[in-house]
């Protein structure tokens, strides 16, 4: 049919009874069905080449394949942050194999030279302890030297006191002899004057006797001064003895005070050394815990699976 008119014969009831018309109508319907099937097949083929995501509803746990792409629970003595993984999911490891490396998160352990600096501080404090010990020995030697010096000084002062006492005794004897001579000279002068009055002695003899009396009197005065000076020397020697003890007592007390202060500093330094030794050992052990190793349960290979 050319379809050059708008008139149709579909509504003609009489045509339904015609066999040729029915055959032609069935052909038209078959063509539409074939076209429809081709269209569906073409659309289905195009859909196969389009990107698509399959959605499935299920109860399960979703996890990443790589360990560093998901939260991990690591059994470690120290706290830290995972820096590097040395194994992958499903990898076989042996005991002692390195699994991962962790870094510090605490402020007091962030120094990269923490162990070295602590060791240097420890050596410095140990040297300080040795210096304090040497200073204590020096104080002991100084105290011993002062005790020996005090002993020698005291013995010297005692000898000086003995000499002063002996000198006092000697001057006392000389003074007594001079006083006796003066007394004799005085009595002789008196007798000479009587004899001079009686005309038995000359004036020259009388003047000679007077001169002798003056000499003995001057000697008595000189010896009295010497005797007093000797007694002053005894007093000075006694004072020197007391001052020696007082002087060296102060010096020894000062040295002992310095010694005790040094001992106190040395004990403080030793306590610091003990603390630094503890810290150094702890830091050294801690630095070896940054690498997490495979559990040492037996010698058979272990398959690494991280939940």
pLDDT of 210-225, one tens digit each? 888 888 888 888 888 9
- Domain of residue 33: give its range: 13-49
Shared domain for 250 and 152, answered yes or no, is yes
Taking only the tens place, the pLDDT of each residue in 281-292 is 888 888 877 888
Lowest mean pLDDT among 156-170, 174-188, 289-303: 289-303
User: Three-class SS string for the chain?
Assistant: CCCCCCCCCCCCHHHHHCHHHHHHHHHHHHHHHHHHHHHHHHHHHHHHHCCCCCCCCCCCCCCCCCHHHCCCCCCCCCCCEEEEECCCCCCEECCCCEEEEEECCCHHHCCCCHHHHHHHHHHHHHHHHHHHHHHHHHHHHHHHHHHHHHHHHHHHHHHHHHHHHHHHHHHHHHHHHHHHHHHHHHHHHHHHHHHHHHCCCCHHHHHHHHHHHHHHHHHHHHHHHHHHHHHHHHHHHHHHHHHHHHHHHHHHHHHHHHHHHHHHHHHHHHHHHHHHHHHHHHHHHHHCCCEEECCCCCCCCEECCCC
Instruction: Report if residue 179 sits inside a domain.
Output: yes
Q: Mean pLDDT throughout 69-85?
A: 73
Query: Which among 217, 239, 259 is the end of a domain?
Result: 259
Shared domain for 156 and 247, answered yes or no, is yes
Instruction: Report if residue 20 sits inside a domain.
Output: yes
Shared domain for 36 and 159, answered yes or no, is no
Q: Tell me the CATH number at 236.
A: 1.10.287.620
What pLDDT sits at residue 300?
A: 44
Q: Mean pLDDT throughout 240-244?
A: 85
> Structural domain tally of the chain?
2
What pLDDT sits at residue 198?
A: 78
């Amino acid at each position: 049919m050319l379809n050059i008119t708008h008139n149709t014969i579909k509504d003609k009831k009489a045509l339904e009874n015609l066999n040729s018309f029915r055959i032609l109508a069935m052909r038209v319907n078959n063509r539409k069905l074939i076209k429809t099937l081709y269209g569906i097949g073409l659309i289905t083929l195009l859909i196969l080449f389009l990107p698509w995501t399959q959605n499935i509803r299920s109860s399960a746990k979703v996890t990443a394949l790589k360990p560093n792409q998901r939260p991990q629970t690591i059994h470690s003595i120290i706290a830290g942050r995972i820096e590097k993984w040395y194994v992958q999911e499903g990898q076989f490891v042996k005991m002692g194999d390195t699994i991962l490396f962790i870094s510090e998160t605490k402020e007091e352990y962030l120094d990269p030279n923490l162990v070295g600096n602590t060791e240097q501080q420890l050596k410095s404090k140990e040297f300080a302890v040795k210096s304090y010990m040497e200073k204590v020995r020096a104080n002991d030697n100084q105290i011993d030297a002062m005790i020996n010096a005090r002993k020698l000084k005291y013995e010297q002062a005692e000898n000086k006191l003995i000499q002063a006492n002996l000198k006092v005794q000697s001057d006392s004897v000389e003074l007594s002899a001079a006083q006796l001579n003066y007394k004799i000279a005085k009595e002789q002068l008196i007798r000479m004057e009587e004899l001079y009055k009686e005309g038995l002695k000359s004036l020259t003899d009388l003047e000679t006797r007077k001169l002798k009396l003056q000499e003995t009197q001057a000697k008595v005065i000189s010896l009295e001064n010497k005797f007093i000076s000797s007694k002053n020397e005894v007093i000075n020697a006694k004072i020197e003895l007391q001052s020696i003890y007082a002087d060296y007592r102060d010096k020894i007390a000062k040295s002992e005070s310095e010694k005790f202060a040094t001992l106190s500093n040395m004990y403080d330094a030793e306590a610091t050394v003990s603390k630094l030794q503890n810290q150094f050992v702890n830091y050294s052990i801690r630095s070896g815990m940054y690498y997490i190793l495979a559990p040492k349960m037996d010698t058979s290979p272990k398959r690494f699976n991280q939940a």
